[in-house]
Amino acid sequence: MGGVTSTVAARFAFFPPTPPSYGVIEKEQGEVVELTQVPRRSNVEARRLQTKKGNGIIAMYVRHPGAKLTLLYSHGNAADLGQMYELFVELSSHLGVNLMGYDYSGYGQSSGKPSEQNTYADIEAAYRCLIETYCACEEDIILYGQSVGSGPTCDMGSRLSRLRAVVLHSPIMSGLRVMYPVKHTYWFDIYKNIDKIPSIKCPVLVIHGTSDEVVDCSHGKQLWEHCKEKYEPLWIKGGNHCNLELYPEYIKHLKKFVAAIEKRPPPSLENIPKIDENSSLLDPPVVTSDRLSTDQKLEKPRASVDQRESKPRQSTDCRERDNGKPRSSTDRRDKSRKSVDASDKPRLSVDQSDKPRKSIDRFGGMMRSVCNIDCFKVTATGG
């Protein structure tokens, strides 16, 4: 069955840019590498990280002085670090956060081949690097997943209990649902985000364009509806799949979200078991009772990301906080709060007849619009 899943993924989920948009120069010792064909910046460092699947992936870390939070960014399809480089630098600067981006196995200068399971190993390697090399703490990390990157983001988000927040940018409910408006989850589907998102305990921001012809806006709306802790979503009127960064409301809303997350207290460390050095950094998956996917009924639940030990392990922390207060909802005033663009009518429901969508560019396809960095030049009166 795993072979069928891999075939489905290979057919429509992964389109690494060919040739890669950047190169690397390996250093004599250690993980640090030098990126070529991109501008050199003193606050940017690149590393080659080893995944548990045996692949070496390239990650870049953008440091911001005085940053309290760190963004772990999983990019979309048909993109690599060379194309995302300037966007990452600008996001770090305007949001006031440290940022780590990484290339999936088989993307850019990362070794291996792209697959669903490899992307899970890839994001874990990046997360481990943040914890072990850059001394980030789980409760100070925001996961950011764009398009196909929402898959590894939702998977990790459902396994870490003390994340600060999650951002889903043009996300997918699942791989199969991009092509067919199916009502149920099948065992051979990939990136079953719709089944995992109820297990994410932290605030979730969803951003989606209302004119997205690749991943219908209904994906973002359905995921938002199933969030446990909703934050005011952003439905960008007229926005497509690859151009949301061009809209002023994108960076304005994102800055508002980060500011709100910074103000709220971090998750409590009470009732957390002691760390076992041999166990995984990630918690075991949580299966919700209201949505059981077909594969969860037929197969054993997916094991912890590090299968060396079955015990769940608390994430490594560089410092402890003493705050026993329960976490409050970011948007408690109205659980069913309307979207920023409530006047825009939703696209076709996923519950309609099972006709395939005519997507020329699935998951971003063979081409991607490069963000105009000028969209981040906010005026003095801007948000």
Based on the residue annotation, tell me whether 241 is a catalytic residue of this protein. Answer: yes
SS3 (DSSP) at 47: strand
343 catalytically annotated: no
From 199, 241, 304, 317, the catalytic residue: 241
Choose the catalytic residue: 147, 150, 279, 339: 147
42, 113 contact by CB (below 8 A): no
Instruction: Write the single-letter amino acid at 103.
Output: D
Q: What Cα–Cα distance (Å) separates residue 102 from each residue in 113, 122, 321?
A: 15, 8, 29
Active site residue 283: no
Which structure tokens are listed for 121? Answer: 């190993």
- DSSP state letter for 199: G
Residues of the chain by 3-state class (helix, strand, coil), percent to 5: 30, 15, 55
Closest CA to 253 of 267, 270, 239: 239
Active-site hit among 212, 216, 283, 317: 212
Cite the DSSP H helix spans in the chain: 2-12, 81-95, 116-132, 150-157, 175-179, 193-196, 217-225, 248-263, 294-298
- Calculate the alpha carbon distances from 26 to 47, 126, 360 in Å: 9, 18, 38
- Name residue 60's beta-bridge partners: 46, 101
- Give the whole-angstrom CA distance, residue 310 versus residue 94: 41
Q: Which residues are catalytically annotated?
A: 147, 212, 241
